[in-house]
Amino acid sequence: MLVDTRVALPSQRRSAALADHRLFAVLLALAAALRVVTMLGYRPATLYWYDSFTYLDMAVHPAPSASFHPIGYSLLLRALLPFHSVELIVAVQHAMGLATGLLLYAVLRRRSVPGWAAAAATVPLLFDASFLRLETGILSDTQFIFLIVAALAVLMWSPEVSVRAAACAGLLFAAAALTRTIALPLLLLVVLVLAVRRVGWRPLGALALAGALPLTGYAAWYAQHHGRFAISGADGVALWARTMTFADCARIQPPPHLARLCPNGTELDAASEYVWAPQASLNLLPGDRFTHNDLAREFAVRAILAQPLDYLRDVARDTAIAFSWTPIPHPERTTPAFGFRKGHWKLPAQPLIDKVKREYDPDIRGLSSVSPYADFLIAYQYVAYLRGPFLAAILLLGTVAAIRRPRVALLPQAVALALLVGPVAVLDFDHRYVLPVVPVACLAAALAFQRDPSRN
């Protein structure tokens, strides 16, 4: 009898362990089924006028872009180039969304968060229709979200940050910065938070070095092509556009070479619109807008220093859009939510279309909805949407967790807030830019339910 009991114990432990994760397993399976429905309901992929075709072209012809797009996402598309299928890209991105949810759950359970709380933290990411739509688009955001969550998971896996973990996280943050440049200040923020936590100079050095090396290499490659040591050629243009909602040249008093960038009476409904508006002062200068990036940055810095309160007011006002109950279109031409519809959408009038069809995927065509799958998603999206007040509540709970357990929750909460405010501060608010905030904020909020304080 004693022998039978000893033999049974390991299987009992395994059964108990599996039962402990049963709720998340069900959620993950349902989320995977939703993504299958999405691929069946909208084919082949959502292609955007500027971003999608630029990414695909860069995948075929890898080179640092002088505009908004670093190379990171295009490297993923290049890895998938032999298959010549944008539908495969969508499938990979759906899998990446599921993998992000799995990472989120795993690190929370590792840090002694109850199964129900860890599973609940993954629900917005796995089930919000906005993420389903995002994953169908040829856009860098899904990869960016995965890399940020992966980097945080590595740093939070153990109470003490090892040199190896720090180096791995540094590489992941660098990859995120080469996917979307808003991650550049995140790397500095993470180093600062870990320094406050006193993790030791070796992990800090490993994190900084591992993050800096790929970025330095890319900047050198950029310099070979564009003659300037940089990651992007659009940071100044973006910041200039941000200032167009408040800049008053009577107060700024710019020198003559910058006065050409003053507001010229053109009034648009969002700061980001000034980047593309033909009548905006920057776009009236000779040549491509991005050739004036340094000039635009110089003007923007002067404007912010001359009108700091106006700048902060506009950043706060636009950030607050994220917390509205009914999604507010910003810019007005966009669809902030509930974007699943019935119909067929032709490809945009984009000069790269023929080239990308010839070199990447001959089957690239306009997006079409397919019934009954699209009908289900159209109804589903009105229920499965994270309203602004709920996001505010999640961020508030994360702040409570960061105050109570700073050693474990301060890092993800700081990253979540930076992801929320950062894009608005350097360009403008966009509902798409809020989506990376959600899983990171949920990670911080779930830590409020951590059972074992010694895991701080």
Residue-wise pLDDT for 302-343, tens only, equals 999 999 999 999 999 999 999 999 999 999 888 888 999 999
Give the pLDDT score at 23.
96
Give the pLDDT score at 455.
53
Question: What's the pLDDT tens digit per position in 171-194?
Answer: 999 999 999 999 999 999 999 999
Give the pLDDT score at 11.
57
What is the band of 161 on the pLDDT scale with cuts at 50, 70, 90?
very high
Give the pLDDT score at 77.
97
Tokens 């710019």 belong to 254
Q: Do 315 and 352 meet the contact criterion of CB atoms below 8 Å apart?
A: no
Q: Do 73 and 143 meet the contact criterion of CB atoms below 8 Å apart?
A: yes
Question: What's the pLDDT tens digit per position in 381-427?
Answer: 999 999 999 999 999 999 999 999 999 999 999 999 999 999 999 99
> Does pLDDT of 1 surpass 90?
no
Question: What's the pLDDT tens digit per position in 248-274?
Answer: 999 999 999 999 999 999 999 999 999
What is the band of 379 on the pLDDT scale with cuts at 50, 70, 90?
very high
Mean pLDDT, residues 202-218:
96
- CB neighbours of 406 closer than 8 A, spacing ≥ 6? 197
The count of C-alpha atoms lying within 13 angstroms of the C-alpha of 231, restricted to the half-sphere facing its C-beta, is 20
Distance CA 297, CA 40 (A): 45
SS (H, E, C) the chain: CHHHHHHHHHHHHHHHHHHHCHHHHHHHHHHHHHHHHHHHHEECCECCCCHHHHHHHHHHCCCCCCCCCCCHHHHHHHHCHHHCCHHHHHHHHHHHHHHHHHHHHHHHHHCCCCHHHHHHHHHHHHHCHHHHHHHHECCCHHHHHHHHHHHHHHHHCCCCCCHHHHHHHHHHHHHHHCCCCCHHHHHHHHHHHHHHCCCCHHHHHHHHHHHHHHHHHHHHHHHHHHCCCCCCCCHHHHHHHHHCCCCCHHHHCCCHHHHCCCCCCCCCCCCCHHHHCCCCHHHHCCCCHHHHHHHHHHHHHHHHHHCHHHHHHHHHHHHHHHHCCCCCCCCCCCCCCCCCCCCEECCCCCCCHHHHHHHCCCCCCCEEECCCHHHHHHHHCCCCCCCHHHHHHHHHHHHHHHHHCHHHHHHHHHHHHHHHHHHHHHCCCCHHHHCCHHHHHHHHHHHHHCCCHHHC
> Which residue type, as a one-letter code, is found at position 41?
G
**Buried residues in 432-451 as b, exposed as e (16+ CB within 10 A):** bbbbbbbbbbbbbbbbbbbe
pLDDT averaged over every residue in the chain: 93
Mean pLDDT, residues 203-217:
97
Of 391-405, 423-437, 441-455, which gets the smallest average pLDDT?
441-455
| Beta strands at 344-345 and 42-43: parallel, antiparallel or unpaired | unpaired
Q: Which residues pair with 137 in a beta bridge?
A: 46
pTM of the shown model? 0.94
